[in-house]
Structure 1
Amino acid sequence: MTLIKSISGIRGTIGGKTGENLTPVDVVKFAAAYGTWIRKKSGSTKIVIGRDARPSGDMVNTLVCSTLQGLGIDVIDLGLSTTPTVEMAVPIEKAAGGIIITASHNPVQWNALKLLNEKGEFISAKDGEEMLKIAEKESFEFAQVAKLGTYQKNDTYIQKHIDEILKLSLVDAEAIKAKGFSVVVDAVNSTGGIAVPALLKRLGVKVKELYCTPTGHFPHNPEPLPEHLTDICRELTKGKYDLGIVVDPDVDRLAFISEDGTPFGEEYTLVAVADYVLNASAKKKGNTVSNLSSTRALRDITEKAGGKYFAAPVGEVNVVEAMKENDAIIGGEGNGGVIYPELHYGRDALVGIALFLTQLAKTGLQASRLRAKYPNYIISKNKIELTPTIDVDSVLDQVKKKYKKQPINTADGVKIEFETEWVHLRKSNTEPIIRIYAEADLEVKAEALAKKIIADIKEIITEKAV
């Protein structure tokens, strides 16, 4: 079954049976539910739409736009765009919300509807539950012919997005231009191939485009992990470049490759950008937020800069909420997601690129030297597949009791601290799985900690079965 309905939207594989895959019927149903919810919630009847370049995007986009118009909603279609661009366009247009048609880092057969509120932020759990109830009941009322919504195409927002980034006080375009940087960009043949080179050229950076044609045919697995980035790493080893830049299909995740062809580390994208922002904002000691499964290095550099670090449950909406509550000046997720509220509350690879290049320009450091400045931690990512009859909550509760003398955070599963090491256990919302992330300063130590916890879980399950 590959149709996943959640509070933040709907995603699935294209084709197949209705209710089991993402079919045209499902797209219309959930677009209608979202549009109905928007009409009940807001006085505005305007929604912004944008999509990544995957081959099913045009079809899904047509269905979504037509359905919203059928509800009497006016549609502004950004066409090929990025997730952060749509997020910024919603409040600028004074729209009631937005839909981003993208399956993010999922393979090409997937697509999804990401749902935004009037602030251009992902809808809350409460709002998402209300929208899903509308979809379940199919309680839609479509407009009469005289009150159908309008349709407007607007492809100017990527440039507007870039304009706003260049206005930021911590982005020093002149310093970047003066360095004459040369970079390689891997945009996995999606909309990053439009947006990232456009930004870099405005910053005076020489660009080698690798997979920047927005056909939607991904040349490799689109998740920006080191094992998928061998082509750009190989290009960097030729020695002609200062940096490699990698984004996922909807440009909300960002990874760097150092000048010597070694991955900077997706976890360290946020760490490096936060380090620059924290120390450039000298008049204000800044706080930071990341999710519970992100590297400890962010806490280390935050405390070193005199700020406070806060951990949020996994999920962008949770990180944003914690950032607002704790007046964070930078935050995000360890998957390469940078949230810079001076621009907007959403993961944004474009602003991350501009801030990172400013840091390189001002410090004069090569990317590899900058990476060497930070505490070195390794995260081991594991999972245990369980039978559906096992009570996962009960298992996690037993693990918590076993380590009750350690600092424990239960905001999202169970996270246990061990001096400079930690382990985070979370149950999957869609499968009988416990995800186990462990971090330490050496890979062997992280793996040993993960194996120890896995052994504890298996022992608990065995004891319950007896």
Structure 2
Amino acid sequence: MSKLLISVSGVRGVVGESLTAQVALDYAEAFGTFLKPGKIAIGGDTRRTGPMIKSAVVAGLMATGHDVVDIGIVPTPTIEMAVRDGGFVGGIAVTASHNPDEYNALKLIGPGGMFLSQSQAEKVNELFKRKQVKRVTWQKVGVLSFDEHWITHHVDSVTNLDIISTDLIAKSGIKVVADCVGGTASFMADMFFSRLGVSYELINSQIGERFPHPPEPVPQNLGDLGEAVKRAGADIGFAFDPDSDRLAIVDETGKPLGEEYTLALGCRYILQHKKGPIAVNVSSSLLNDFVAREAGTKIYRTRVGERNVTEKLMRVKGVAGGEGNGGLIYPDLHWGRDGFLAAAVILQYLTSIPRTISQIAGELPRYSMLKTKVSGTRKDIERKVKAIAKVFPGSKIDRLDGIKISGDNWWVQIRASNTEPIARLMAEAEDPKEAKRLIAAIESVL
């Protein structure tokens, strides 16, 4: 049986095994106990198990005296914006994001529309583990209501940004193909691309019992999109993940750029219009360092996790940031990764200069990044620290998140995943062979 994963972002697992309706109810009660009195927003993605898990979550929140507003099948960033702008004390996104069909999860959103901090999450998790919840009497049980206007609010907020000109985008004649992967983008893409005025085609926008292909927007899963871009003669292709907080790009030839380019290109465009530092996680590409140097600004690195990046952006008054898995954050919009924000920024970038997306990407240095998964926990990694360090004598060792060893234009890192019961091993270098060698060097120690 799979293991229930409890982390700073919430709880996730395989439905019917580690994640049951009872677990969802208990965890929602813990979250409701943690929050101050007030209404809570709930939304989620399109997974078959969503209605069951959501019903349990609603019951748990109402049992702690909270009114619950179901805002429907919506992107996670839509829920974040609803919490911030709708007077909610918190929110829950019922989504396992990029994980396969059998998974589901509860992502906890605190006051202000941000994921919980480490200390806040620890309090919720402790309440859950100890079953220290406060239930109310029948007279104080919360009320359930529905409000499905928040996607419109999300589209309005993105398209009204000062760095986005819908008039210029509409006049550009850009043609887009978007892969909705049968997820929440299916409910927002028509309104979004119509508002921008582009010619567009959606693929995998029908909702089924399973995702049409593995849902993580990585190059090996974007074959359908690449073919559709070539068939349509489109200028660009966009791939969303199921909860639409990540975006990957396919160029006009049908070739995936790799999800790291979403963040780098998004930050590059924003830095052409806003002055200030950027913040990215420690596992994001060296492309971001180039973008920061080019703009004459500072780049800050954080532990992996959206909240870690947003906290840094808040402290340093950053103008943009995110995570290299395709997650762009623009604080002037909200404090979270947002796939539709990223799409708007990239389209604005294309509109602003007479070059193709492949030509724009070609202006950045070429790096090869390899990512793989290995069995292991944080304790396993800690036991191997000295052995790993010996493989790279004289190199810089960074313990911010796992172990990251770096040199001139290369780095390799191993860290325990926040969302899966595995360790993530990744390397980046100018030469693909060097990246493979770095991965192999770590694997030899493990």
TM-score class, shorter:
over 0.9
CA deviation string 1:295-350 (max 9, x = no partner): 10101111111101111111111111222222221111110011111101100001
Paired residues for 1:3-82 under 5 Å: 3-16=4-17, 21-38=18-35, 42=36, 44-82=37-75
Paired residues for 1:14-413 under 5 Å: 14-16=15-17, 21-38=18-35, 42=36, 44-215=37-208, 217-281=210-274, 284=275, 286-385=276-375, 391-400=380-389, 403=392, 405-413=394-402
**Secondary structure of 1:416's match?**
strand
Contact 1:5 1:11 survives alignment (8 Å): yes
1:435 Cα deviation from its structure 2 partner: 3.3
Q: Which residue of 1 aligns with 2:425?
A: 436
Q: How far apart, in 2, do the equivalents of 1:191 and 1:430 lie?
A: 20
Q: How far apart, in 1, do the equivalents of 2:264 and 2:210 lie?
A: 31
Q: How far apart, in 1, do the equivalents of 2:248 and 2:421 lie?
A: 30
CA deviation string 1:273-302 (max 9, x = no partner): 111001122xx2x21111111110101111
Q: How far apart, in 1, do the equivalents of 2:423 and 2:324 lie?
A: 19
Segment drifting more, 71-80 vs 139-148:
139-148
Taking only aligned residues, the RMSD between alpha carbons, in angstroms, comes to 2.0
Structure 2 runs not aligned, ≥5 long: none
* The one of 408, 413, 421 aligned to 1:424: 413
**Secondary structure of 1:346's match?**
coil
1:230 Cα deviation from its structure 2 partner: 0.9
Question: What is the number of equivalent residue pairs in this alignment?
Answer: 445
**Secondary structure of 1:214's match?**
coil
**Secondary structure of 2:231's match?**
coil
Contact 2:5 2:420 survives alignment (8 Å): no
**Secondary structure of 1:207's match?**
strand
Contact 2:245 2:339 survives alignment (8 Å): yes
Percentage of matched positions with identical amino acids: 36
Q: How far apart, in 2, do the equivalents of 1:439 and 1:195 lie?
A: 34
Contact 1:273 1:352 survives alignment (8 Å): yes
Which structure's CA Rg is the greater one? 1
Structure 1 runs not aligned, ≥5 long: 459-466
1:404 Cα deviation from its structure 2 partner: 5.9
Question: Partner amino acid for 1:31?
Answer: A
**Secondary structure of 1:299's match?**
helix
Segment drifting more, 374-383 vs 162-171:
374-383
Q: How far apart, in 2, do the equivalents of 1:198 and 1:219 lie?
A: 22
Change (3 A) 1:130 1:389: closer
1:430 Cα deviation from its structure 2 partner: 8.8
Contact 2:100 2:215 survives alignment (8 Å): yes
Change (3 A) 1:328 1:61: same
**Secondary structure of 2:245's match?**
coil
1:171 Cα deviation from its structure 2 partner: 0.7
Q: How far apart, in 1, do the equivalents of 2:16 and 2:64 lie?
A: 25
**Secondary structure of 1:72's match?**
coil
Q: How far apart, in 2, do the equivalents of 1:366 and 1:343 lie?
A: 27
Question: Partner amino acid for 2:3?
Answer: T
Q: How far apart, in 2, do the equivalents of 1:369 and 1:50 lie?
A: 38
Q: How far apart, in 2, do the equivalents of 1:290 and 1:307 lie?
A: 13
- Find runs of 4+ consecutive structure 1 residues off by over 6 angstroms: 429-432
CA deviation string 1:147-184 (max 9, x = no partner): 12122201000110111112211011111000122211
- What TM-score comes out, normalization by structure 1 length? 0.91
Q: How far apart, in 1, do the equivalents of 2:95 and 2:418 lie?
A: 20
Contact 1:190 1:215 survives alignment (8 Å): no
Q: How far apart, in 2, do the equivalents of 1:389 and 1:291 lie?
A: 18
**Secondary structure of 2:123's match?**
helix
1:434 Cα deviation from its structure 2 partner: 4.8
CA deviation string 1:181-206 (max 9, x = no partner): 22111111111011122111100012
1:408 Cα deviation from its structure 2 partner: 2.5
Q: Which residue of 2 aligns with 1:453?
A: 442
Q: How far apart, in 1, do the equivalents of 2:99 and 2:379 lie?
A: 28
**Secondary structure of 1:237's match?**
helix
Contact 1:292 1:424 survives alignment (8 Å): no
Question: Partner amino acid for 2:189?
Answer: V
Q: Which residue of 2 aligns with 1:462?
A: none
**Secondary structure of 2:272's match?**
helix
Q: How far apart, in 1, do the equivalents of 2:124 and 2:25 lie?
A: 14
Tell whether 2:403 aligns with 1:414. Answer: yes
Q: Which residue of 2 aligns with 1:2?
A: 3
Q: Which residue of 2 aligns with 1:464?
A: none
